[in-house]
């Protein structure tokens, strides 16, 4: 489990990388709703560092899915952690 508070260590980065790879695979397979759920679960945290690193990693997506549209839609979410 990734830390709820504070800076991330190498194990947290590995977990985050694994989760982002799952999101990318689901986007490539056209499973947008599952990818949105995974992004929401990861982003809905009080830890700023998790949200920051998640955004950096999602920005590197070069696959077939429409991740830009998905992330754009999440900007309107009522939960701050998701919008951030």
What is the pLDDT at residue 78? 74
**What total of structural domains would you count in the chain?**
1
Residue 43 inside a domain? The answer is yes
- Is 4 part of any domain? no
Q: Residue 68 falls within a domain, yes or no?
A: yes
pLDDT (0 to 100) of residue 63? 86
Mean pLDDT of 20-40: 93
Does residue 74 sit within a domain?
A: yes
Q: What is the pTM of this model?
A: 0.85
Residue-wise pLDDT tens digits, 39-78: 989 888 888 899 899 989 998 998 888 888 888 887 887 7
Report yes or no: 11 and 49 within 8 Å, Cβ to Cβ. no
Token pair belonging to 28: 């490539």
Question: Is 2 within a domain?
Answer: no
- Distance CA(22)–CA(51), nearest Å, equals 17
Domain that holds residue 49: 10-83
* pLDDT for res 67: 82
Residue 54 covered by a domain = yes
Residue 41 lies in a domain: yes
């Amino acid at each position: 489990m990734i830390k709820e508070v504070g800076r991330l260590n190498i194990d947290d980065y590995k977990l985050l990388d694994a989760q982002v790879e799952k999101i990318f695979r689901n986007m490539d397979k056209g499973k947008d709703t599952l990818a949105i759920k995974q992004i929401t679960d990861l982003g809905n945290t009080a830890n700023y560092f998790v949200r920051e690193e998640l955004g950096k990693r999602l920005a590197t997506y070069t696959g077939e899915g429409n991740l830009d549209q998905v992330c754009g839609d999440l900007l309107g979410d009522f939960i701050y952690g998701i919008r951030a």
